[in-house]
Amino acid sequence: MLSCVDLAKTYRSERGEIEAVKGIDIEVRPGEFASVVGRSGSGKSSFLAMIGGLSRPSRGTVRIEDTDIWSLTDDRLANFRNRRIGFVYQFASLLPTLRIIDNVALPALLDRAQDAASAYQTAAESLDQLGLSDYIDAYPAEISAGEQRRAVIARALNNSPALLLADEPTSDLDEETERRIMDQFRNLNRERGVTLIMVTHNLRLAELTDRIIHIAGGRLAS
């Protein structure tokens, strides 16, 4: 499903070069639910951004379902992200001026292969599956943080991605909501076979996943 070879990322700033990720080799199997743990600044979010096609590696390759994603042109990479990868972030990532259903339908609307009617129908079904059918016409500011996060998960799943990437998805949520989000992830993983990679600094959450990947100082730790 996912294969990274010698993956590295160096940021250049006025203060010099910072090597955030220093050559990671890893394989994630289809249907696996993996967590990436490490201290702040260990390089785990940069690693996630590279495997999600959001930040170009300084070195190395990322293959998802036999596609070397960083060899794609920018437009084809955007299409790949749209159709094969879903993202859940550590902050509220719904567009505030759009209704919940518009937010969830957005990836499908951006993909010109789908018409608006089917995009909205799929969005309504995704919201229903995540228990948010009562909030279809609500705006993000009108629902709770936990419901917003579930709406983001619904958006991430709207195009039936092969890989779902979550960056500290529960960091600002209370324990009860955190548990519900983790249950949703587990259900998606078991029932729909979605491969999940979740970055967290919370070891208790990481222990709920199939596999824990430790990153320290930009490298895989034993």
Partner 1 sequence: MLTSVRQGLTALLGGVLGLMAIMFVSTGLMVSVLFSAIITERRRELGLLRAIGARRKQIVGMLLMEAGLATAVGGLAGCVLGLLLMRVYERSLVHHLDSMGIPFLWLPAGTIGLIAVACIVLTSLIGAAGALYPAWRASRLEPYALIRSEG
Binding site for partner 1 (CB under 8 A): 46, 49, 52-56, 74-75, 78-79, 81-83, 87, 89, 91, 93, 95, 106-107, 110-111, 155, 159
Smallest separation (angstroms) from partner 1 to the CB of 67: 15
Would you say 139 and 40 are in contact if contact means Cβ atoms under 8 Å apart?
Answer: no
Q: Compare residues 99 and 179 and give the one whose CB is closer to partner 1.
A: 99
Q: Compare residues 101 and 180 and give the one whose CB is closer to partner 1.
A: 101
Smallest separation (angstroms) from partner 1 to the CB of 30: 22
Q: What is the CA radius of gyration of the chain?
A: 17
Smallest separation (angstroms) from partner 1 to the CB of 204: 26
Q: And the tokens for 72?
A: 């794609």
From residue 200, how far is each of 36, 87, 164 by CA, in Å?
6, 14, 14
Smallest separation (angstroms) from partner 1 to the CB of 222: 28
Q: Compare residues 74 and 176 and give the one whose CB is closer to partner 1.
A: 74
Smallest separation (angstroms) from partner 1 to the CB of 168: 13
Phi and psi, residue 199, nearest 5°: -85, 130
Q: And the tokens for 186?
A: 């587990």
Would you say 46 and 207 are in contact if contact means Cβ atoms under 8 Å apart?
Answer: no
Q: Compare residues 78 and 216 and give the one whose CB is closer to partner 1.
A: 78
Of 112, 108, 116, 61, which is closest to residue 86 (Cα–Cα)?
A: 108
Smallest separation (angstroms) from partner 1 to the CB of 140: 12
Q: Compare residues 55 and 195 and give the one whose CB is closer to partner 1.
A: 55
Q: Compare residues 51 and 180 and give the one whose CB is closer to partner 1.
A: 51
Of 167, 183, 185, which is closest to residue 32 (Cα–Cα)?
A: 185
Of 188, 139, 182, 135, which is closest to residue 161 (Cα–Cα)?
A: 188
Classified as helix, coil or strand, 1 is coil
Would you say 172 and 8 are in contact if contact means Cβ atoms under 8 Å apart?
Answer: no
